[in-house]
Structure 1
């Protein structure tokens, strides 16, 4: 029987979990300060794209005299980008 070129996704994830478990046993649990730092980074990953959307939207609204026509959609676009980036960051570890 020949081995497939690519590993089964379930097998790959099981191996990844086993490696993380070995690392956790070897290095111990992260400190409270490290956990708080991770939460802070996660917050900034979400907030910065939202602030960029607000800034760009306010500039466009001021330029085109359009009220909040651009600010609101760009705020929500920034929220979507920030949540997507946070999701990718959490799942990459």
Structure 2
């Protein structure tokens, strides 16, 4: 808990010194966040479709790896948003 308070105090100090980031900076952050989520999903989907074609299993691997990619993308986005 002390670490969280320390991190928030540091962020507040930086905000007072530097001011609010430009709108272009905020839009760039949103774009990066989108790619952080979408990229693992697409990789899982393409890898799953390739495995399904090779094994002749319909959509079994695609569905499973799509969910793994979604979980990995959400976890990566959460870690990126909460970095110190």
Q: Note whether the superposition's TM-score is higher than 0.5.
A: yes
Aligned length: 84
Q: Which runs of 5+ in 1 are unaligned?
A: 1-9
Gaps of 5+ in 2: none
Looking at structure 2, the residues matched to 51 and 71 of structure 1 have their Cα atoms a distance apart, in angstroms, of 10
Aligned structure 1 segments of 4 or more residues deviating by more than 4 angstroms: none
Larger radius of gyration: 1
TM score, norm. by length of structure 2: 0.94
Alignment match, 2:53: 62
**2:46 is aligned with 1:46:** no
Please, which of 82, 89, 92 is the counterpart of residue 80 of structure 2? Answer: 89
Larger proportion of helix: 2
Instruction: Tell me which residue corresponds to 1:27.
Output: 18
